[in-house]
Structure 1
Amino acid sequence: MFKSKSKRHMAGAAALAVVTMAVGAWSWFPGHGPGHGHGREVDLQLLAINDFHGNIEASDGLTYEVDGEEVSAGGAEYLATYLEEAREGEKYSTTVAAGDLIGASPFLSAAFGDEPTIESLNAMGVEVSSVGNHEFDKGIDDLYRHIEGEGDYEGAAFPFLGANVVDEETGEPVIEPYWIKKFRGGVKVGFIGMTLEGTGDIVAKSGIEGIEFLDEVETANKYAKELQRKGVNSIVVLLHEGGYPVEEDTGHDCESLDGSGVGMSGPIVDIAETMSSKVDMIVTGHTHQEYVCSVPDPAGQPRMVTSASSYGRVFTEIEATYDRRTRDIVRSSVTGSNTVVERDVEADQVQSDLIAGYQDEVEEVAGRKVGYIAEDITRGATRAEEFPLGSLIADAQLDRTADPDIGGAQIAFMNPGGVRADLLYDEGEPGVVTYAELYSVQPFNNYLVTMDLTGEQILTLLQQQLPSEDRGTTLFLQVSEGFTYTWDTSLEGADQIVADSLMLNGEPIAADQSYRVTVNSFLADGGDSFYVLAEGENRLFGEVDLVAFEAWFGENSTPDNPVEAPETGRVNLI
């Protein structure tokens, strides 16, 4: 079922690591194979990306492993070239995306409200995208700004789709649910776009008041029927939810570019296995993984499920035959491959000019010195561990809200997913932290919120770090200096957080005593399934987290007294 191939997109380029999968294990029917039908069939091409996150610049930090070696990868200038080369000779081609195109973006895009990214994607030829959770980072109104434009900003030239993003009173979508690509000769392909059902738990609730996110399968099935009533039988779902390649054989026939994945786990498995057979393929995202998989649909037929990693470092190419008589995709014809966007091709000039224009405007702000570090201060390898940069942010947030007049905080917690980059000593001028670097660490513009929590609620908060029905992974909250506890992995469930081990400055945390706790506004709303934080009382809103971090560096670092990486061990993990 699988075969490997090498592919050149430009003369002189190195061979690219590409995996191809043919979906379909049954016999060919007359007229349904490639080259048959005498004009009844046409060759479709879908090019797909996901989780771009505003990475328009070809930064040194963007790499991908190819043949066991880390190579520079990504950058809009090179992604655009790869896509254009892939489209050559294809009369029935469209370029699609599966959400998180904006949000959690590097400084160059974020400094201009992600307008550079939308302009880049317009020029790149993206024709449709689902929304992802990060499209809601600044609330629904900001998403509408990108959809409709504002002033001189024209917004997206392509539709954002959100079939399962609905008004909680009417149940009607607040964003277009689907889009129909109309090719020449009456060939039509319908695209249903959705974000994960759990989006409301991982974005700030203040920006999505009155909106709810519905079940992905029920929503897809509903609109697949509606598309078929309109005469559109070839249907693709763009879904911002995904899975993980695994080494064991799960019966899902997956393969990754590095050859590590043969099976699949994660939320997408159940979704793909139960979504209507009317859907011909599913393009996914959210997990930042790379895979091309075959997952049986409810009728037992293989159906392609793909994902193209993240940050524009990989793109997916799907090829399929469309039968004009049935007005549908011939499922047995579908093949898919992922390609690494190496920087061994000519940069797209339109993208280069766009990026250069914004770089000229942002240079003065980006280079402003905000502090000094003595060494690298880094994130963890995963979000399930304590790491120095998380501890430092928690310390800074505690310091900025400790004064009784501005919070009276005693403890601060930081979510690991909110730390988006490392602070590196040799980045730019050695030891100097610039505003752009600080922004890359905390790009979400959350407010600091200080609230009352009882000791019992703090214990519940720590227990909510563990996997649950709403979140299948462990998230390790980063804690401020002076707060400690024991996490015993030999125990079961919530008992892993040893209840009588919680200490503040050497004193036991009392279950019935109230404590002042600072978190960012995302967490304060119960984000990342830390629901107990939504119960916090006597809330006081403070500075934007980035403003607080910059001010802390200004007060606590000099060239002669740079900041050192905090030691880990505040959590006694056994």
Structure 2
Amino acid sequence: MSGVAKSGWAFAALLLAGCAQTGMQSGVRTGDGPGPLAQLQIIAFNDFHGHIGADDQQVVPPGASQGAARVKAGGAVHFAAAIAKLRAENPNSAVVTAGDLISASPLASGHFLDEPTVRAMNVIGIDYSALGNHEFDRGQQEIRRMQAGGCAKYTLLEPCQVMADFPGARFGFLAANTLQADGKSLFPAYGIKRFDIGGRNVRIGFVGMTLKGTPAIVSPRSVEGLSFRDEAETANALIPTLRAAGADILAVLVHEGGNMKPDTDPADCANMIGDLKPILAKLDPAYALVISGHTHQAYVCSYAPVDPTRPFLVTSAGQYGTLVTRITLDYDFGTGKLVDKRAQNLLVEQPAADKTTQPEIAALVDRYEAAAAGVRNRVVGTVAGPLSNIADKSGQSTLGNFIADAQRAAMTAAAEGGAQIAFMNPGGIRAAVTPSASGEVSFGSLYAAQPFGNTMVVKALTGAQIREALEYQFARGDLPTILSVSQGFGYSYDSSKPVGQRVSGITLDGRPISDGETYRVAMNNFMGQGGDGFTMFTAAPLVGEGPSDLEVLEAYVRAMPGRAVPALDRIRNVTPQ
């Protein structure tokens, strides 16, 4: 059977009752079943994204109503303390993550290539990490360095800036469905955690995967030569191998997730929508657990109400280390079967005394925060007001327009490519830029907005290719990916019209663009390589290359004191209301 704990007190009461009835000796319960029961624990998380600092992350506590007050949570020190506490309650524990451990990170980790996060996780002692799509942001060589260690330089940033001899991850990266040209997985497909309990052994096999759609959402160059296979088919094919390796309990760590329908119970998988659900529908019921991520949602549910033949326990611990999932498994040595599984998302609280309980991690975080402080607090320039990353009804945001203007300005000179237009993808903008009361903008604020370290390119595109790209924005599903565009370029769209006929009135500096004419368009290399599915950019001739997108944004702010906030007048949504 399986169950889902819906509140902390209920879960605690269940455990206390279970221990009182059966008695616990060396991790083995006896007296209420066909054989001795081992109680195992999996501590799971996902989408940590390098949040080692105790930033102002605020979440609604698990089990609270939607309107409940948010509380501060997370930070590597508090995260380590939470895991240590759970381990003390049950030493028969595995600690695993479902991907996006690194990248798209705050400056204190990201500016140092996420070496601080890997070092912190080494101290915490996690066992396995599935690769997420963001692990690919800096390319395959850098992923391998994260695992193997060393200070070889594969990015624009310098490795080993603060601490020499980066050791790499002392835990295993897993990549079952990420295959190289020779058919071998980029990292091992699975890992097995063995527990020795009262002289008896039980093993959990963890299969780690990222979403098969990874190539569409990362730089194509970063995944060149790799193929991403179907998640369920990959996991199902591994079952004989896992059994031959001695795995008694099977679990999936998959960097793909779901969402719960609004105002529904997150403890009921029947309420789940999104890309994880088709995977669950095909996954072999030999798997007991599906630990998921990617959507940054928090849920714990049984899939049995959807399909009684597939009673998976499905979990996700939100984002940024603000929650951890405690999964408890009862394994019967007499029958060799898992007889119960239950889980609960727990808040990673921020008690003031945690630095004394986690001195090594506290010292590590302090060291990197100090190294980052001078970089973060450096004033770049001034702007006339806040730059929001929230789009209006047309799909524009003031920050998106500002970044597009910065990119065109940086690449306008003939030597840089002679850009006439710039396009910026919304997924590359991660936070608003909020100046101080006097209008000052810090480097840290710009970094938070653009943390990926993409480089600028200029591509020669025909008017027809530009039109194709604009139409493609509205052909990607229910949520369009509307690119920010630079000043002087504009168009209208009517999303009620048929696909391919939604964009009209495309102009540059007041003149209609011509399908047969060639225009020079600045964009980041992610877009230039066909990122977000804009493959019409891939083959377009490269006519210029420039610095990183962050350097471009910094130079734009510095060049003119009090730079104006751009108007939202470039894209016109004329869809009938």
Tell me how far 1:491 sits from its aligned partner: 2.5
CA distance 1:547–1:254, shift in 2 (3 Å): same
Q: For 1:183, what is the secondary structure of its paired residue? A: strand
Residue number among 250, 253, 265 corresponding to 2:273 in the alignment = 265
Between the aligned partners of 1:294 and 1:462, the Cα distance in structure 2 is: 41
Between the aligned partners of 2:266 and 2:427, the Cα distance in structure 1 is: 27
Does 2:105 align with 1:99?
Answer: no
Between the aligned partners of 2:461 and 2:518, the Cα distance in structure 1 is: 5
Does 2:532 align with 1:528?
Answer: yes
Between the aligned partners of 1:383 and 1:466, the Cα distance in structure 2 is: 14
Residue number among 220, 226, 239 corresponding to 2:235 in the alignment = 220
Partner of 2:309: 300
Tell me how far 1:379 sits from its aligned partner: 0.8
Residue 551 of structure 2 aligns with an amino acid whose one-letter code is: V
Between the aligned partners of 2:363 and 2:394, the Cα distance in structure 1 is: 40
Partner of 1:234: 249
CA distance 1:568–1:381, shift in 2 (3 Å): closer
Partner of 1:491: 497
| Matched pairs, number | 535
Between the aligned partners of 1:18 and 1:536, the Cα distance in structure 2 is: 58
Which deviates further from its counterpart, 540-549 or 530-539?
530-539
Between the aligned partners of 2:445 and 2:100, the Cα distance in structure 1 is: 21
Tell me how far 1:35 sits from its aligned partner: 6.2
What are the superposed Cα offsets for residues 548-573 of structure 1, whole Å, 9 maximum, x if unpaired? 111112212x2xxx123222231111
**C-alpha contact (below 8 Å) 1:246/1:264 kept by paired residues:** yes
Between the aligned partners of 1:383 and 1:305, the Cα distance in structure 2 is: 35
Between the aligned partners of 2:70 and 2:360, the Cα distance in structure 1 is: 27
**C-alpha contact (below 8 Å) 1:269/1:295 kept by paired residues:** no
Matches within 5 A, 1:69-84: 69-84=69-84
Partner of 1:188: 203
**C-alpha contact (below 8 Å) 1:133/1:196 kept by paired residues:** yes
Does 2:189 align with 1:177?
Answer: yes
Q: Please, what TM-score do these two structures have when normalized by structure 2?
A: 0.87
Partner of 2:173: 160
Between the aligned partners of 1:384 and 1:36, the Cα distance in structure 2 is: 63
Residue 216 of structure 2 aligns with an amino acid whose one-letter code is: D
**C-alpha contact (below 8 Å) 2:302/2:312 kept by paired residues:** yes
Residue number among 352, 356, 359 corresponding to 2:362 in the alignment = 352
Residue 547 of structure 1 aligns with an amino acid whose one-letter code is: E
Partner of 2:296: 288
**C-alpha contact (below 8 Å) 2:423/2:486 kept by paired residues:** yes
What are the superposed Cα offsets for residues 260-289 of structure 1, whole Å, 9 maximum, x if unpaired? x96011110000110111111111111111
Tell me how far 1:40 sits from its aligned partner: 2.6
Tell me how far 1:33 sits from its aligned partner: 11
Which deviates further from its counterpart, 65-74 or 92-101?
65-74
Q: For 1:548, what is the secondary structure of its paired residue? A: helix
Residue 315 of structure 1 aligns with an amino acid whose one-letter code is: V
Does 2:50 align with 1:54?
Answer: yes
Partner of 1:11: none
**C-alpha contact (below 8 Å) 2:267/2:302 kept by paired residues:** no
Give unmatched runs, 5+ long, in structure 1.
8-16, 23-31
Tell me how far 1:218 sits from its aligned partner: 1.4
Residue number among 265, 275, 284 corresponding to 2:283 in the alignment = 275
Does 2:459 align with 1:451?
Answer: yes
Partner of 1:25: none
**C-alpha contact (below 8 Å) 1:21/1:292 kept by paired residues:** no
Partner of 1:341: 348
CA distance 1:145–1:112, shift in 2 (3 Å): same
Between the aligned partners of 2:131 and 2:351, the Cα distance in structure 1 is: 31
Partner of 1:464: 472
Does 2:328 align with 1:319?
Answer: yes
**C-alpha contact (below 8 Å) 2:80/2:124 kept by paired residues:** yes
What are the superposed Cα offsets for residues 500-524 of structure 1, whole Å, 9 maximum, x if unpaired? 3211111112122211111111111
**C-alpha contact (below 8 Å) 1:446/1:544 kept by paired residues:** yes
Which deviates further from its counterpart, 356-365 or 229-238?
356-365
Q: Please, what TM-score do these two structures have when normalized by structure 1?
A: 0.87
The CA RMSD measured in Å over matched residues stands at 2.7
Tell me how far 1:20 sits from its aligned partner: 12
Residue number among 542, 546, 551 corresponding to 1:547 in the alignment = 551
**C-alpha contact (below 8 Å) 1:82/1:341 kept by paired residues:** yes
Tell me how far 1:530 sits from its aligned partner: 1.5
Partner of 2:521: 517
Tell me how far 1:354 sits from its aligned partner: 0.9
Partner of 2:58: 63
Aligned-residue identity in percent = 36
Residue 279 of structure 1 aligns with an amino acid whose one-letter code is: Y
Partner of 2:157: none
Between the aligned partners of 1:117 and 1:20, the Cα distance in structure 2 is: 35
**C-alpha contact (below 8 Å) 2:5/2:342 kept by paired residues:** no
Q: For 2:287, what is the secondary structure of its paired residue? A: coil
